[in-house]
Amino acid sequence: MRTHGVRFSIIRHAAWAPGLETPEQWQAWAQSPLPPAPIPPSGEPGVRLMAPLLRRRAGQLGKMALETAYACLGEQRDIPLVFCSRHGEVGRAVELLSALVQGEPLSPTAFGMAVHNASAALFSIARADHANQLALAAGGASIEAAVIEACSLLADGAAQVLLLAADCPLPAPFGAFEDCHEQPHAFAWLLQADNREQGARFELSWRALAGDEGAPGAQERAMPATLALQRFMLGVARTYEHAANRQQWCWSRLA
């Protein structure tokens, strides 16, 4: 069964990954043949717009997310934010669990920054911004869940919503469970209700899958769904589909 889906416009966007720091670099990456060159696992942005005292609390995932949020919003305030990450700060969680096993004291800062909404909270604190924030994870369909949540906020009266997505490779204990080539990346989209006069217009629809229908192929497993979607958004293809959470997610670029 197919739903009617959701429609929205992206009026501004920003992205950051090691080796992909400028719009021109991202555009060249999006236009490169599949599979594109893998993104280096290390490297993080400067987040120079954030006070050093707060910036030092963030790790690679948080700094990437914060860099794109600042770049996308600029001086705008009071914009609801939806943050999504499939794995979140799982690396910090592993470090904390390892410390517990070894009987070492836990770092309060590391503990506070391990929660799923930590990056969004830092952004709010740094800007003294009281806008509504949501943080979610929905497995392989995390980005779709975030877009649906953002569109719900738009339908509820928000003029714009900032969608923020970020992920990093899994730490060693979980590497065996990877179902794609995890790579560090983050992007921010400033969304508003579907508007023919402004921004790039997209539709997301979905249908339930039966049994093994829609099992991801080798090409889809080559990169995380969020990264593949960012490539689609920057490209010219009319559609992009991927299977996750027993759903076939269908993205369409509207004229």
pLDDT of residue 196: 87
Peptide bond into 35 cis (omega under 30): yes
CB-CB contact of 217 with 177 (8 Å):
no
- List, in order, residues 6 or more apart from 84 with CB less than 8 Å away: 135, 136, 137, 138, 142, 143, 145, 146, 163, 164, 165, 226
What is the reported pLDDT for 164? 98
Please list, in sequence order, all residues whose beta carbon lies within 8 angstroms of the beta carbon of residue 61, skipping any fewer than 6 positions away: 85, 88, 89, 91, 119, 166, 167, 168, 184, 186
pLDDT at residue 173, as a whole number = 84
- CA-to-CA distance for 139 and 145, rounded, in angstroms? 9
> Would you state the pLDDT for residue 72?
97
Residue with tokens 């919003």: 73
- The token duo for 120 is 């969004």
Query: What is the CATH superfamily name and number for domain 6-253?
Result: Thiolase/Chalcone synthase (3.40.47.10)
The residue ranges of the chain whose pLDDT is under 70 are: 1-3, 211-221
Query: Do 223 and 181 form a contact (C-beta atoms < 8 A)?
Result: yes
Map out the domains of the chain as residue ranges: 6-253
Burial per residue of 158-168, b for 16 or more beta-carbon CB atoms within 10 angstroms, e otherwise: bebbbbbbbbb
